[in-house]
Amino acid sequence: MRGMGNMQNMMKQMQKMQKKMAEAQEELGEKQIEGTAGGGMVTVIVSGHKQVLDVKINEEVVDPEDIDMLQDLVLAATNDALKKAEELTNSTMGQFTKGMNLPGMF
């Protein structure tokens, strides 16, 4: 019968961990991460769930003769923001998988 008690205890621990993981995921979605390019001429803000929330372009960088540069800056700022969001996700959610070998979890 001792094994059953351990199993129930383990299930309770898993339920607590799942609840904490869900809360952490929800908190991530509320975070806003900023990526920039061109010395702050272009700023992209994404959520912790990696959704683009806002794009800000300084009018000084808008040159109708050089649309390619503006596109590159938007792309670089977006990638910067997404990279930071990924790092935040890994550090936040990684606490739940420490010591576990679960490839591809987060």
pTM of the model: 0.75
What pLDDT score does 31 carry?
Answer: 93
Q: Is the CB of residue 42 less than 8 Å from the CB of residue 36?
A: yes
Quote the CA–CA distance of 56 and 40 in Å, as a whole number: 9
What pLDDT score does 99 carry?
Answer: 59
What is the end-to-end Cα distance of the chain in Å, rounded? 36
Domains annotated on the chain, with CATH: 30-97 (3.30.1310.10)
According to DSSP, the residues that pair with 35 across neighbouring strands are 44
Which parts of the chain have pLDDT scores under 70? Answer: 1-4, 97, 99-106
Q: Is the CB of residue 16 less than 8 Å from the CB of residue 9?
A: no
Quote the CA–CA distance of 81 and 83 in Å, as a whole number: 5
Query: For the segment 10-23, what is each residue's pLDDT rounded down to a tens digit?
Result: 888 889 988 999 99
